[in-house]
């Protein structure tokens, strides 16, 4: 059986980073500390759509990370959700919040 602790630490670090990113994006969207210059304000507001997209993507990543942490706590982290086979540690190193083995992921992509 694999040691999940390094994966848990990696996921916790990612969670902290993404949570910080979401907070920064929220602050930017609320325009806290907005400049007094009207032209700069207009430019800052143009970036809102990009920031909202980044915030949404980060929120989705946070959901996946929290799910992976729950899988670690339940002992299911190394098991594919579809076929029940082991997910290789190398795959989890690259995609720490994946829930499928390579074969099942490939099959999902080609359906």
Task: Count CB neighbours of 4 within 10 A.
Answer: 19
Mean of pLDDT values over 77-84: 97
CA distances from 68 to 34, 38, 56, 57, 86 (A): 37, 45, 19, 17, 15
Q: What is the pTM of this model?
A: 0.79
Residues 30-60: pLDDT tens digits? 765 556 666 766 666 677 777 888 888 999 9
- Rounded CA gap, 24 and 109, in Å? 33
Give the domain ranges of the chain: 5-109
Helix segments in 31-111, DSSP class H: 38-46, 48-74, 89-94, 102-109
Topology of domain 5-109, CATH: 1.20.120
Confidence (pLDDT) at 51 = 80
CB 107 within 8 A of CB 96: no
């Amino acid at each position: 059986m694999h040691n999940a602790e390094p994966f848990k630490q990696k996921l916790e670090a990612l969670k902290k980073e993404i949570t910080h990113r979401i907070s920064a994006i929220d602050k930017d969207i609320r325009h806290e500390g907005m400049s007094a210059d009207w032209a700069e304000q207009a430019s800052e507001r143009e970036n809102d759509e990009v920031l909202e997209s980044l915030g949404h993507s980060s929120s989705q990543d946070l959901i996946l990370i929290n799910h992976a942490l729950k899988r670690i706590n339940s002992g299911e982290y190394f098991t594919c959700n579809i076929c029940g086979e082991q997910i290789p540690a190398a795959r989890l190193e690259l995609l720490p919040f994946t829930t499928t083995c390579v074969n099942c992921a490939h099959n999902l992509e080609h359906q």
